[in-house]
Amino acid sequence: MSKVTSSTLLKLKQQGQKFTALTAYDASFAGVFDQQGVDILLVGDSMGMVLQGHDDTLPVTVADIAYHTRCVRRGINRALLIADMPFMSYATPEQTMVSAAELMRNGANMVKLEGGLWLVDTVRMLTERGIPVCAHLGLTPQSVHLFGGFKIQGRDVNNAERIISEAVELEAAGAQLLVLECIPAALAKQITATLSIPVIGIGAGKDCDGQILVMHDVLGISSGYIPRFSKNYISQTGDIRAAIDAYVEEVKSGAFPAEQHTFN
Ligand code: KIV
């Protein structure tokens, strides 16, 4: 079974085939997700909420992500491993290089950063130095306090146009993947068609090249609030491997996300 790389994902996009991604934070779950054919595992700063019990992702540190990246790395053979750059770990060029290098040394294949135009030079700097980058636009949770809550982004024309031009600039700067979170499906469709690089959606409709969800939502272990864009696959399968199989199958067939998981 050959390893998933950015070239694999690019080829899938060009062939019109969907791919799957999940968050993972430890070797055991990562092993199951990898064996069931999930293409990308993300050590997300969502760990601040689902592992550490915070209200947002801001308390997560580079050391936290590095530790969980090491754990996940030991569990996988095939999937591409992306590590999140946590809040304030890429505010200056020096900080960015130190943080990104640390995550790559701990087993990441790529780092993910949240933000638009202000990150274009950062993405260029990282990629010129051999560190692959996944960009992240739309509802970027590290900016939750700036947004005034976890709110859908890109609903008005100005914001939608800004997100489109940021996506284009980030691709031109060298980003190899883009996550779009909680934006209207039509906007995500337009961005996915405009960019050459693969686009991964979460709450961004069915027309993205791939989908990502937080593992705790898929396995029904998130406490309290389950986001509308997510789906609990355990409740329909009753078994972790079967749940992951169902998620992979539904993304590949286009059954997930359905209309009820989508924003307009
Ligand atoms: O931290 C995370 O889990 C993420 C995904 C929700 C895309 O950034």
Q: pLDDT tens-digit profile of 178-204? A: 999 999 999 999 999 999 999 999 999
R_g over Cα of the chain:
17
What pLDDT is attached to residue 261?
A: 97
**Separation of alpha carbons 124 and 171, rounded Å:** 10
8 Å CB contact between 206 and 195: no
pLDDT surpasses 80 at 1: no
pLDDT surpasses 80 at 118: yes
Q: Provide mean pLDDT across the span 15-44.
A: 98
What pLDDT is attached to residue 200?
A: 98
Per-residue DSSP letter, 260: G
In the structure, what pLDDT confidence band is assigned to residue 222 with cuts at 50, 70 and 90? confident
Q: Whose CA is nearest to atom 1 of ligand 1?
A: 44
In a domain, 147, yes or no: yes
Phi-psi region of 210 (alpha: psi -120 to 50; beta: other; left: phi over 0): beta
Closest atom of ligand 1 relative to the 112 alpha carbon: 8
β-bridge mates for residue 253, sequence order: none
Closest atom of ligand 1 relative to the 181 alpha carbon: 7
pLDDT surpasses 90 at 224: no
What pLDDT is attached to residue 44?
A: 98
Q: How many structural domains is the chain composed of?
A: 1
In a domain, 49, yes or no: yes
Q: Whose CA is nearest to atom 2 of ligand 1?
A: 44
Q: Domain limits at 257?
A: 6-261
8 Å CB contact between 109 and 84: no
What pLDDT is attached to residue 238?
A: 94
In a domain, 28, yes or no: yes
pLDDT tens column, 79-117? 999 999 999 999 999 999 999 999 999 999 999 999 999
Torsion of CA 29, 32, 37, 42, to 10 degrees: 10
Residues catalogued as catalytic: 181
Task: Tell which one of 29, 43, 46, 199 to mutate to probe ligand 1, the residue whose CB is within 8 A of the most ligand atoms.
Answer: 46
Find the 23 Cα to ligand 1 centroid distance in Å.
7
In a domain, 60, yes or no: yes
pLDDT surpasses 80 at 19: yes
8 Å CB contact between 25 and 72: yes
In a domain, 177, yes or no: yes
Report the pocket of ligand 1 as residue ranges, CB < 6 Å: 23, 42, 44-46, 84, 179, 181, 202, 212, 214
**CATH code of residue 174:** 3.20.20.60
In the structure, what pLDDT confidence band is assigned to residue 35 with cuts at 50, 70 and 90? very high
Of the chain, the percentage scoring pLDDT greater than 90 comes to: 97
Determine the distance from the C-alpha atom of residue 172 to the mean position of all C-alpha atoms in its chain, rounded to a whole number.
Answer: 19
In the structure, what pLDDT confidence band is assigned to residue 211 with cuts at 50, 70 and 90? very high
Across the chain, mean pLDDT equals: 97
Find the 44 Cα to ligand 1 centroid distance in Å.
5
Report which residue type is found at 156: D
In a domain, 1, yes or no: no
Phi-psi region of 30 (alpha: psi -120 to 50; beta: other; left: phi over 0): alpha
What pLDDT is attached to residue 7?
A: 98
What pLDDT is attached to residue 226?
A: 81
